Amino acid sequence: MRVNLQALGCRLNEAELQTWVRQFQQQGHPVTADAEAADLVVVNTCAVTAEAVRKSRQLLRRARRTNPWAKLVVSGCFASLDRDAVAREQGVDLLVPNQDKNRLVEITAQAFDLDFMAHDALAQATDPLFVRGRQRAFVKVQDGCRRRCTFCIVTLARGEERSRPIAEVVEEINRLSMEGVKEVVLTGVHLGGYGSDGQGDLSALIRAVLADTHVPRVRLGSLEPWDLPAGFWTLFADRRLMPHLHLPLQSGSDSVLRRMARRCRTEDFVRLIEAAHRQVADFNLTTDIIVGFPGETQAEWQQTLSFVASLGCGHLHIFPYSPRAGTKAATLPGQVRDRTKKERSRQMHALGRRMKGETLARFVGRRLPILVEGPYGDPSEDAWFGYTPNYLPVRIRADEMEDPTNRILDVRLEAVHEDGEHLIGVAFRL
């Protein structure tokens, strides 16, 4: 059967999709990027916000409309949290909840009596990672979360913490490296909780990846700020560990953080970022902010604006709060009006654009290695797109150079683009 796979939401969903790609291939079922040509469509849904649920429903309906003859398999957080709603969606043939995700290919094969033909995934004519337009691979190292932030529904959807053995992670990364992947991202629901079930800890995992693999670039997915182990910053002495972290803050007001049941206060966050800048060259911080959390007063909002402005973040992910049934926050008094959330979002987006522009400007004149992800606009224009080690986006001019996709180029950063969203650079031949 020809299989098409689609995901919505977090990097963990992408990592799971990549695993399923390999498993389907190993059973002899080719993977296609063309949903209309598929016999089987697999959709990995999200439920982190009400908007994510809406988009998940939309994705399922589009999949059925695009190819009504294909079998439709649904998994992910939306499918796990609201099975009845998914079951009511027209054309869903199989629902695989999160607790069975690691067996999705096996369950699908049994449900539809799929033929099994042992097949080497490396023999595929077109690597699925690149069919999906990925020059980096997301590697799932952990699932589940033991923390209970009051706004978070994902911990309910994903269950208890489970860590993959270090040797298994290393083996997967080496396999990806053999396939030509230049960058891997270690990801999990609660990445900093890696090893809580006895598999070591995050530092041990990173050290093993750096010691026992040869992939040129290693990144870390979203990491809670209270989870960084002792000596964490020294790991960045190995330049293959990229100097960028996404550390979710959520609010710059300590009183709001308490209502969120977050385990980090603003003064702790400041100390953490100061240590990062002292010990990690070119360190770039990105973060999450929730706007309009229940009970958020104007004074608390001003505290958040002021605090975030002091951090100098390279990018902000901004989420207007949306109640999720089953979470404590949904029952809290003082739900903020949509109009207020919209105005506060506008203010935070404006701040985020200013900080991003300032961050980009600091690197003008530098020469940095850029992993090229593909053409920027029309390929005939000899312009390409990629990221610096600290995850700054760059439009690259590479005159008369053969397609450099998935190569690491030496690039001189010449200016900030007029849109303020990325740098402009010129590539040098290596």
Residue 111 contacts by C-beta under 8 Å, 6 or more apart in sequence?
93, 94
pLDDT tier for residue 89 given thresholds of 50, 70 and 90: confident
**pLDDT by residue (tens digit) across 196-245?**
888 789 999 999 999 999 999 999 999 999 999 888 999 999 999 999 99
Residue 380 to residue 399: CA distance in whole angstroms:
10
Mean pLDDT highest for which of 54-68, 73-87, 119-133?
54-68
- pLDDT recorded at residue 305: 98
| Average pLDDT estimate for 163-168 | 94
Mean pLDDT highest for which of 43-57, 84-98, 329-343, 416-430?
329-343
Predicted TM-score (pTM) of the model is: 0.85
Name the token pair of 424.
């402009």
State yes or no: pLDDT of 174 exceeds 90.
yes
pLDDT tier for residue 126 given thresholds of 50, 70 and 90: very low
State yes or no: pLDDT of 80 exceeds 90.
no
End-to-end CA distance of the chain: 43
- pLDDT recorded at residue 379: 64
Residue 244 contacts by C-beta under 8 Å, 6 or more apart in sequence?
219, 283, 284, 285, 286, 314, 389, 390, 391
- pLDDT recorded at residue 130: 46
Classify residue 221 as left (phi > 0), alpha (psi -120 to 50) or beta: beta
Q: Which domains does the chain have, with CATH numbers?
A: 3-123 (3.40.50.12160), 135-242 (3.30.750.210), 244-362 (3.30.750.200), 367-428 (2.40.50.140)
pLDDT tier for residue 154 given thresholds of 50, 70 and 90: confident
Residue in this structure with the two tokens 């909840």, named with its chain if needed: 97
The SS3 of residue 75 is strand
Q: What is the chain's mean pLDDT, rounded?
A: 89
- H-run or E-run covering 203: helix 202-212
pLDDT tier for residue 296 given thresholds of 50, 70 and 90: very high
Q: What is the dihedral of CA 149, 155, 159, 163, to 10 degrees?
A: -90
State yes or no: pLDDT of 135 exceeds 80.
no
Cα 94-97-98 angle, rounded to 5 deg: 140
- pLDDT recorded at residue 95: 92
pLDDT tier for residue 120 given thresholds of 50, 70 and 90: very low
Amino acid present at 314: G
- pLDDT recorded at residue 91: 79
| Average pLDDT estimate for 338-342 | 96
- pLDDT recorded at residue 396: 93
